[in-house]
Structure 1
Amino acid sequence: MTVVAAILVAAGRGNRAGPGRPKQYRDLHGRPVLWHGLSALLAAPRVAHVVVVIHPDDRSAYDDAIALLDVAHAAKLEPPVDGGETRQASVRAGLEALAALPAPDIDVVLIHDAARPFASVELIDRAIDAAVTHGAALPTVAVADTIKRVDGDGRVLETYDRAQLHAAQTPQAFRFGAIAEAHRRAAGVAGTFTDDAAIAEWAGIPVFTFAGDLRNVKLTTPADFAHDGRPAPGLIGRTGFGYDVHAFGDGDHLIVGGVRIAHDRGVLAHSDGDVVLHALTDALLGTIADGDIGTHFPPSDPQWRGASSDRFLAYAAERIRARGGIIDHLDVTVVCERPRIGPHRDAMRERIAAIAGVRPGAVSIKATTSEGLGFTGRREGIAAQAAASVRLPATTDLDEEG
């Protein structure tokens, strides 16, 4: 089994982003920039350990950011490491921290910049596969512009063949031992290496490329933070709807909106029977025309028996982000005579926000009865209707009409 670790580099000051907090702690769609990239690394099933390299002055901001993470992934996150004067020194500090872990030897390491918050789990998987195959690899995208080499006076000296040019991204992926040794050797070399692939090249390690992602942009200047780091004209809105119902059965509680509520009945369900999270999962999947909850988590599969429904909603939210999408709003109506939903509304909003990776203000919970009519009126069960609003890149393959 290949043991994979990741380093998230977040020790820089980000001066080009303008005045204010370091860019990795600025708000991006209700969460710090660092939270987004870290969440993707932690959610990647094949990544076993994650180390974040931070500036010593940022410990409080870092603690606030990780407090918002899904607790299900907490075991993967190692203690933060103080960075150095340069990115190169910070990466080396992260590599040494991983080497010191009391864990099985690490085979592959991913090195990712916190300033790239839109990396998807699919991109992370490609990085791991490329490292296993080649030993050293980085994601790249083709250069669309014509590139000129100029002198100090602005005179054009050469025009490059852009067919041979590729823009580098992160996460870059390497066999752990080889890149760790290369970084140790490069520590005493004059000059600056702009990325870890350049250090591998200098050390004589063949470096290969794999398909990057145009959505995996780097936030650098103040303009990059407009519209949550994405250009508004490139996004289109989509809305999805979901519905779920469960009959009451024996039990002493219900799980509704991720919150345990004491009740004189339970529900009959294959999983934990959370109608709110099930309806929201279908609503999100609907925005990307990606089937329904039964498509991805069939009730015939015994592994989902009694499963916590937060896994379903988190999965659907990640499917949105994997397509470069942004979740704008989640709206739910719960239909039941009992239990009363109102006293638990705020707790539900907080829990759903944490699972889906949005701010609580983007989650609405409403409740109603059916005035004694139908199965809910007879107190035989509980139902929920949900709507989800998202924005997706206009270039998504969902938009075949162009």
Structure 2
Amino acid sequence: MSHRIALILMAAGDSTRFCASANISLKKQWLRVGDMPLWQKVAQDLSETYPFCQIFITASESDFLYMQTISPFCVIKGGNTRAQSLRNALKFVEADFVLVSDVARWDIDKAVCERLFACLDNPDFACAVPFVSVPDTTFYQGAYLAREDIKLVQTPQLSHTQTLKQALDSKDFSDESSAMHALGKRIDFVQGSAKLSKLTLGEDLHNSNLLPPSKESFCASGFDVHAFEEGKPMVLGGIEIASPIGFKAHSDGDVVLHALSDAILGGMCAGDIGQWFPDTSKEFKGADSKKLLTYIYTYARSVGFEVRYVDITIMAQIPKIAPYKQRIQESIAALLGLPKARVSIKATTTESLGFIGRKEGVAVSATATLGYIQWDSILR
């Protein structure tokens, strides 16, 4: 095979229909297949169908930085529509041809791909798409249609790169073939496959052969320190502590929730709280750390993780933590949707040693145990 072909996998959708139908916050592209997110599995399976010279995956704005961190492929920030996401990715395509597919069509059929690639032998090739026929009688707007004339178009779709860029200039289209058709280009149709049915709703998983998620766990730690500052309220673990001093911080200074947030991010390999909520941003000035932790926890679930256990050690000479331990435990359990039995709160002094012993501030060490959401037991 001598043609230079790039691959673009569309994975920037928000999975609204899937999440709503399954009553779950986990986006379909983040279903774990073993220990791999679905978008990575689909990209890997597609990469085995041809020696692509470039491989791109589109990501939503909220997923972009995280996917960049963990993806073995080049990640492109998507747009508000599929067409805009595709335009963004096409800017980086240097190959003569481009194969575009959707993460929702996860069960790759290599034979279909080979039929698409064979179309490149046509001298006036512009676009090739797979299709399946309609098996049922079809009725539309008061009349029966000839079902043999109806084609259900699938992805992946293969296009001439420059022609596709031109076709997408005018407006948004639902796929590449409709854009090419609007430009007056010939579409080559090849036989598709039932394997390429879309994963749209939670019920579509009932009869799928997707491997279940790995049951392994991930343990990560977080650590944070804040100095005292007079005239500010003191907040630890999401509750206000009776104290004449608070913490010097850009946010509310809740050192407990900051350490816990870092532990959760560490379990995901998603950086640290400073990257997510930089202290250079006015947006987070005086921010409520409960809201910051809730954002991280919600995001973790949307990309396939669940928090299973947390263990926190608060190192403070002052204030005395013992009177507040139960309330802190209850606060964190509520924030993470965990039973109290899975939230451990410990406290210690440093025997008057160091900055803690000199009553200059508080340090917290947090450990979080994460695992993949076992979607197969929920959705099958």
TM, length-normalised to structure 1: 0.47
Quick one: which amino acid aligns to residue 178 of structure 1? Answer: T
Quick one: which amino acid aligns to residue 11 of structure 2? Answer: A
Q: 1:3, 1:107 within 8 Å by CA — same for their partners in 2?
A: yes
Quick one: which amino acid aligns to residue 219 of structure 1? Answer: L
Give the corresponding residue for 2:56.
51
Looking at structure 2, the residues matched to 229 and 147 of structure 1 have their Cα atoms a distance apart, in angstroms, of: 29
Give the corresponding residue for 2:84.
89
Give the corresponding residue for 2:107.
118
Indicate the RMSD between aligned Cα atoms, in angstroms.
2.4
Give the corresponding residue for 1:26.
31
Report the structure number with the largest CA radius of gyration: 2
Which of these residues, 170, 177, 183, is aligned with residue 197 of structure 1?
177
How far does residue 35 in structure 1 lie from its aligned partner after superposition? 2.1
Q: Is 1:183 the equivalent of 2:174? A: no
Looking at structure 2, the residues matched to 29 and 116 of structure 1 have their Cα atoms a distance apart, in angstroms, of: 18
Give the corresponding residue for 1:208.
188
Give the corresponding residue for 1:38.
43
Q: 1:41, 1:47 within 8 Å by CA — same for their partners in 2?
A: no
Give the corresponding residue for 1:6.
7
Give the corresponding residue for 1:365.
none
Q: 1:95 to 1:179 in 2, by over 3 A?
A: same
Q: Is 1:167 the equivalent of 2:163? A: no
Q: 1:140, 1:212 within 8 Å by CA — same for their partners in 2?
A: yes
Q: Please list every run of at least 4 consecutive aligned residues from structure 1 whose deviation after the TM superposition is greater than 3 angstroms.
A: 28-31, 63-66, 227-230
* Equivalent position SS for 1:57: coil
* Equivalent position SS for 1:97: coil
Encode CA deviations 1:342-370: one digit per residue, 9 max, x unaligned.
Answer: xxxxxxxxxxxxxxxxxxxxxxxxxxxxx
Q: 1:219 to 1:65 in 2, by over 3 A?
A: farther
Q: 1:132 to 1:55 in 2, by over 3 A?
A: farther
Give the corresponding residue for 1:254.
none
Looking at structure 1, the residues matched to 33 and 145 of structure 2 have their Cα atoms a distance apart, in angstroms, of: 36
Looking at structure 2, the residues matched to 132 and 117 of structure 1 have their Cα atoms a distance apart, in angstroms, of: 27
Q: Is 1:136 the equivalent of 2:116? A: no
Give the corresponding residue for 1:17.
18
Encode CA deviations 1:13-40: one digit per residue, 9 max, x unaligned.
Answer: 1111023122111134553221221012
Q: 1:113, 1:170 within 8 Å by CA — same for their partners in 2?
A: yes
Quick one: which amino acid aligns to residue 55 of structure 2? Answer: V
Looking at structure 1, the residues matched to 184 and 64 of structure 2 have their Cα atoms a distance apart, in angstroms, of: 36
Q: How does 1:54-93 map onto structure 2 within 5 Å?
A: 54-59=59-64, 62-63=67-68, 66=71, 77=73, 79-93=74-88
Q: 1:172, 1:197 within 8 Å by CA — same for their partners in 2?
A: yes
Encode CA deviations 1:219-276: one digit per residue, 9 max, x unaligned.
Answer: 000101224467xxxxxxxxxxxxxxxxxxxxxxxxxxxxxxxxxxxxxxxxxxxxxx
Encode CA deviations 1:110-142: one digit per residue, 9 max, x unaligned.
Answer: 110011111133322222222442321100011
Quick one: which amino acid aligns to residue 45 of structure 1? Answer: Y
Looking at structure 1, the residues matched to 100 and 87 of structure 2 have their Cα atoms a distance apart, in angstroms, of: 11
Q: 1:32, 1:65 within 8 Å by CA — same for their partners in 2?
A: no
Give the corresponding residue for 1:262.
none
Q: How does 1:345-360 map onto structure 2 within 5 Å?
A: none
Looking at structure 2, the residues matched to 159 and 28 of structure 1 have their Cα atoms a distance apart, in angstroms, of: 42
Q: 1:95 to 1:63 in 2, by over 3 A?
A: closer
Quick one: which amino acid aligns to residue 42 of structure 1? Answer: S
TM, length-normalised to structure 2: 0.50
Q: Which runs of 5+ in 1 are unaligned?
A: 67-73, 100-105, 151-156, 231-402
Encode CA deviations 1:23-79: one digit per residue, 9 max, x unaligned.
Answer: 11113455322122101222223322111111121136535763xxxxxxx5xx3x2
Q: 1:169, 1:216 within 8 Å by CA — same for their partners in 2?
A: yes
Work out the number of aligned pairs and report it: 205
